[in-house]
Chains A and B, each alone.
Chain A
Amino acid sequence: MTNATWRHPESNQPGRVGQYAGFVSRLLAFALDIAVSLGLFALAVALLTSIVGLLAGHSYDVNRHGLIVEVLFGVWLFIYFAFQWASNGRTLGMALFGVRVVTKDGSEIGRWQAIERTAALPLSLLFLGLGFLMALVQRERRALHDLIAGTCVVYSWDARAARLRWLAHQTPEPSPSRDLSSQ
């Protein structure tokens, strides 16, 4: 595990960077990750089925080996989440919604912590996602798998800076004459 504190490039600005991420952003990021991983898995299965069908000379029915497919999907999900958390501290969905995983004190997440978090993730989904709903009421917005792995999710994107950028886009550009006079 690395002890380096994660710092955002704009962390010197007042904003949301480093604050605990909210439930909705986390939920949307997770939903996107599930959709992406499911899509990639389905694509891979379709490709593999086509290749096997071509080589064997007859069509191959994946449903006959449903259990194997389910196990493979579980393994794929584990790799999808664990690898991205270990290497970047965030998944594709988390990157899109501007959140990332850090340790509970704010350091970068380590490899084993990423694996631990991924292993604990199914526990959060049990009982209609009760463990995940803990992020709604827990003081530090940590879900069950966060509490088990000693992690939390923070904003890695500054909403205030983005708002200022957006406002800057709306402001009309200064006239050339003003530019000249200011030089």
Chain B
Amino acid sequence: MDMVSPKGIKGTPERLAHLIAGQVVNLVLESLDFDAILDRININALLQRIDVNELLEQIDVDVIVRQVDLNALLSEIDLNALIEHVEIEALIARSTSNAMGSALDLVRRQGVGLDDFVARFVSRVMRRKPGTLPLGPALLVGESSHSSGTS
């Protein structure tokens, strides 16, 4: 909305018109029940009419970013207070847990790889036919499960 500076108004009629207009606007605003108006507005329907993608396409983010004074912004941020709010311990625990899990997987994979190698070697030495060995206990892998000689 354009604002009209009182300093820009010259002469008594213009000042009078300005005062009257101000009074009228005030009276109109006081008589309006904004809650009732807002109640009548269907926000969902309003939002559905907005094409967000088109809106976003019209926004030139680069221009906005160029206008931001990052140095001024950063100088206003209390980094110490920010760090205090970050759950560093939880972050460290989570990353440590992930690293431990990966290390455990690696160790187990190596173990299984060596298991397979030894099993193949023994099967070859004992001249066992592939698929003749049981895979596991019946309750866990089923009655008819037999290995292919690699596990």
Residues of A in contact with B (beta carbons under 8 Å apart): 5-6, 11, 16-25, 28, 96-98, 102-107, 136-137, 139-140, 152, 154-155, 157, 159, 162-163, 165-166, 169
B24 lies within 8 A of chain A by Cβ: no
- Please, how many angstroms separate the alpha-carbon atoms of A84 and B135 in the complex? 25
Name the distance in Å between A43's Cβ and chain B's nearest Cβ. Answer: 23
With a cutoff of 8 Å between Cβ atoms, the chain A residues found around residue B118 in the complex are 22-24, 136
Label chain B's interface by main secondary structure: helix
| Contacts known (A22-B118, A139-B134, A140-B134); A154 close to B112, Cβ less than 8 A | no
Flag the segment in B76-84, B87-95, B102-110 that touches A: B102-110
With a cutoff of 8 Å between Cβ atoms, the chain A residues found around residue B130 in the complex are none
Name the distance in Å between B135's Cβ and chain A's nearest Cβ. Answer: 5
| Contacts known (A25-B115, A166-B102); A18 close to B137, Cβ less than 8 A | yes
- Please, how many angstroms separate the alpha-carbon atoms of A169 and B102 in the complex? 10
With a cutoff of 8 Å between Cβ atoms, the chain A residues found around residue B151 in the complex are 16, 19, 22
With a cutoff of 8 Å between Cβ atoms, the chain A residues found around residue B104 in the complex are 96
Label chain A's interface by main secondary structure: mixed
Flag the segment in B11-19, B34-42, B138-146 that touches A: B138-146
- Please, how many angstroms separate the alpha-carbon atoms of A107 and B141 in the complex? 12
B119 lies within 8 A of chain A by Cβ: yes
Name the distance in Å between A177's Cβ and chain B's nearest Cβ. Answer: 11
| Contacts known (A22-B115, A166-B102, A169-B102); A154 close to B136, Cβ less than 8 A | yes
Q: Which residue of B lies closest to A19 (CB)?
A: B136
- CB interface residues, B 15-31, toward A, < 8 Å: none
With a cutoff of 8 Å between Cβ atoms, the chain B residues found around residue A24 in the complex are 111, 114-115, 118
- CB interface residues, B 92-132, toward A, < 8 Å: 102, 104-105, 107-109, 111-112, 114-116, 118-119, 122, 126
